[in-house]
């Protein structure tokens, strides 16, 4: 399958125009007429994932976070990003990124998170206001609202999250870890700012990552329960989600999940 053809199929389900203005989802490196037989999926493109792709004869890396994000004035081998770009181009490896458009789109990362946890999907947390941003009568937006099959405590919910997502730690913000949980909101990645929206709702807990200290203080004072799984903890499942999507809905391409995804934080 040609790269352009593959991208066309992907973007029918996960439209690239859903991404935020500051984002850089889409094709970051590559020729549109390149044949794609082997894909590597990853959260982040690092030196280790590029080397893995070279050793595995990968044609295309699909990452969640854009490879080219901040302004780049030159591509030189003395710069970390430039050296990786040169290595990718020299080895004819294309790079396609699915970031905020995949967070927002139906069937994207927030929906996959709920499915993985066996939580009923009750809709979008923060809808986009544009009239054009609809699909089958539903409004696109960031985050999802979910409902557990039966009520539990925050402590037991934490245990379930850690087991299913293979996490060693989860940070809890709240006044009572034994309080009841039935409804949840999930914003994969950095979604801690949504605690103020949660305070005005009937949602029992916000599941997200990257909560800052002062946000945590304010959330506590507003009596909002927050579970901070870390940025990596909520998003590394992207690789499995994309592999599942391509295997089940496209087919004909070998897809492997990177064995070298980087969580830069070490729990000591």
The angle, 0 to 180 degrees and rounded to 10, between the axes of the packed helices 80-90 and 47-55 is 10
In a shared domain, residues 227 and 120: yes
How many domains does one find in the chain?
2
pLDDT at 58: 99
Average pLDDT of the chain, as a whole number: 96
This prediction has a pTM of 0.95
pLDDT at 73: 87
Does the residue 23 lie in any domain? yes
Does the residue 255 lie in any domain? no
Tell me the percentage of the chain whose pLDDT exceeds 90: 93
Tell me the percentage of the chain whose pLDDT exceeds 70: 97
In a shared domain, residues 135 and 230: yes
In a shared domain, residues 110 and 230: yes
Does the residue 246 lie in any domain? no
CATH number of the domain within which 13 lies: 3.40.1390.30
Cα(134)–Cα(144) distance, rounded to whole angstroms?
Answer: 16
| pLDDT band at residue 61 under the 50/70/90 scheme | very high
> Mind listing the pLDDT tens digit for each residue in 62-111?
999 999 998 888 999 999 999 999 999 999 999 999 999 999 999 999 99
Instruction: Please state which of the ranges 45-59, 115-129, 147-161, 175-189 shows the lowest mean pLDDT.
Output: 115-129
Is residue 131 scored above 70 in pLDDT? no
Last residue of a domain, one of 87, 102, 117: 102
Nearest Cα to Cα of residue 262 among 231, 220, 226, 224: 231
Is residue 23 scored above 80 in pLDDT? yes
Q: How far is CA 14 from CA 9, 50, 99, 105, 178, in A?
A: 9, 25, 10, 6, 38
Does the residue 157 lie in any domain? yes
Domain limits for position 44: 3-102
Token pair belonging to 8: 């066309």
Burial class (CB in 10 A: 0-12, 13-18, 19+), 90: exposed
Token pair belonging to 144: 């999802």
| pLDDT band at residue 198 under the 50/70/90 scheme | very high
Burial class (CB in 10 A: 0-12, 13-18, 19+), 102: buried
**Span 118-147, average pLDDT:** 85
Does the residue 242 lie in any domain? no
> Mind listing the pLDDT tens digit for each residue in 164-194?
999 999 999 999 999 999 999 999 999 999 9
């Amino acid at each position: 399958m040609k790269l352009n053809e593959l991208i066309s199929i992907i973007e029918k389900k996960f439209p690239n125009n859903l991404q935020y203005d500051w984002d850089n989802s889409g094709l970051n490196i590559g020729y549109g007429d390149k044949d794609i037989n082997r894909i590597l999926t990853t959260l982040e493109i690092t030196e280790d994932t590029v080397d893995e792709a070279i050793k595995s004869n990968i044609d295309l890396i699909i990452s969640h976070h854009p490879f080219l994000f901040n302004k780049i004035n030159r591509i030189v081998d003395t710069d970390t990003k430039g050296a990786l770009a040169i290595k990718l181009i020299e080895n004819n490896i294309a790079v396609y990124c699915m970031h905020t458009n995949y967070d927002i789109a139906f069937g994207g990362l927030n929906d996959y998170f709920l499915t993985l946890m066996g939580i009923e999907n009750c809709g979008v947390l923060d809808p986009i206001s544009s009239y054009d941003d609809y699909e089958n009568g539903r409004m696109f937006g960031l985050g999802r609202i979910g409902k557990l099959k039966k009520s539990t405590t925050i402590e037991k919910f934490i245990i379930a999250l850690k087991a299913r997502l293979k996490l060693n730690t989860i940070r809890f913000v709240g006044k009572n870890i034994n309080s009841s949980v039935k409804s949840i909101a999930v914003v994969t990645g950095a979604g801690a700012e949504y605690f103020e929206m949660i305070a005005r709702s009937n949602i029992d807990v916000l599941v997200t990552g990257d909560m800052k200290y002062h946000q945590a203080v304010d959330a506590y004072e507003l009596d909002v329960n927050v579970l901070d799984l870390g940025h990596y903890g909520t998003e590394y499942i992207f690789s499995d989600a994309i592999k599942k999507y391509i295997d089940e809905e496209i087919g004909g391409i070998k897809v492997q999940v990177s064995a070298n995804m980087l969580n830069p934080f070490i729990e000591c």
